[in-house]
């Protein structure tokens, strides 16, 4: 009896250890799936090795300067027409060019997209025809459309075998809204229908052209058209908002 009593304890301990390992593996798989879609802190730390990891003790001015530099660099990537044309014309790019196209996706942030989407929503809501309720509705529709577009873009790229996370998609769409911000501001200068159509068309084409190289770099070459289609549809929808509401 004593021999059986001493043998049961290790067996139970091994079973408990197996159950704990299985639970840990399941939690790791769930966290990995979540981080692949919505992002994780490891992505930012791996892709920003040149930035000091300990930013709690640095001055606020230095943090703001670094954030502003990132916003300016990402905005330049969207507004640089020559770079957009060069990236769009090169269908089969080399590995170095592919890394350059992925760089804005790696250096993503949410401050710039927040500013540009806010500006777009303010332009549309401030000129909306109707009362304050209509303005608030237009403002909320803009944010909901951008958020839904980022979620759809993330799932689409994932299903096509690409690599992107939700926050990267949100950052990409937010920065590429900048040409539509310019178009919405220009539409405030005139109520002529033809003028607004021309301006918003240029803004939509500009936004789509700016986003295509970044999305194309995130998916296999033979599936780029399928990856680009949803974001083109999103910017066409936002362009229609700008042409009809402003």
Q: What is the pLDDT of residues 190-233, one digit of tens each?
A: 888 899 899 999 999 999 998 888 888 888 888 888 888 889 99
Residue at token pair 């060069």: 86
Mean pLDDT taken over the chain = 77
DSSP state, residue 110: S
Nearest to 179 by CA among 200, 198, 207: 207
pLDDT of residue 219: 86
Predicted model pTM: 0.71
pLDDT of residue 89: 60
DSSP state, residue 223: G
Q: How many angstroms separate the CA atoms of 89 and 83, rounded?
A: 10
Q: What is the pLDDT of residues 118-148, one digit of tens each?
A: 999 988 888 766 666 678 888 889 999 999 9
């Amino acid at each position: 009896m004593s021999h059986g009593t001493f043998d049961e304890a290790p067996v139970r301990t091994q079973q408990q250890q197996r159950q704990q390992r299985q639970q840990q593996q399941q939690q790791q798989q769930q966290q990995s799936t979540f981080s692949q879609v919505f992002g994780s802190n490891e992505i930012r730390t791996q892709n920003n090795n040149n930035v000091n990891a300990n930013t709690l003790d640095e001055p606020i001015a230095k943090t703001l300067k670094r954030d502003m530099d990132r916003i300016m660099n990402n905005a330049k990537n969207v507004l640089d027409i020559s770079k957009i044309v060069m990236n769009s014309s090169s269908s089969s790019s080399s590995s170095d060019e592919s890394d350059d196209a992925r760089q804005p996706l790696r250096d993503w942030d949410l401050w710039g997209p927040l500013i540009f989407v806010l500006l777009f929503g303010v332009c549309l809501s401030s000129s909306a025809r109707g009362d304050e309720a209509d303005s608030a509705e237009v403002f909320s529709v803009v944010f909901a459309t951008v958020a839904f577009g980022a979620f759809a873009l993330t799932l689409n790229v994932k299903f096509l075998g690409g690599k992107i996370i939700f926050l990267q998609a949100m950052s990409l769409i937010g920065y590429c809204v900048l040409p539509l911000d310019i178009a919405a501001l220009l539409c405030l200068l005139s109520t002529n229908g033809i003028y607004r159509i021309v301006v918003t068309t240029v803004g939509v084409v500009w936004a789509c052209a700016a986003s295509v190289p970044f999305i194309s770099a995130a998916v296999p070459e033979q599936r780029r058209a399928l990856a680009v289609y949803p974001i083109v549809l999103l910017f066409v929808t936002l362009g229609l908002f700008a042409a009809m509401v402003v």
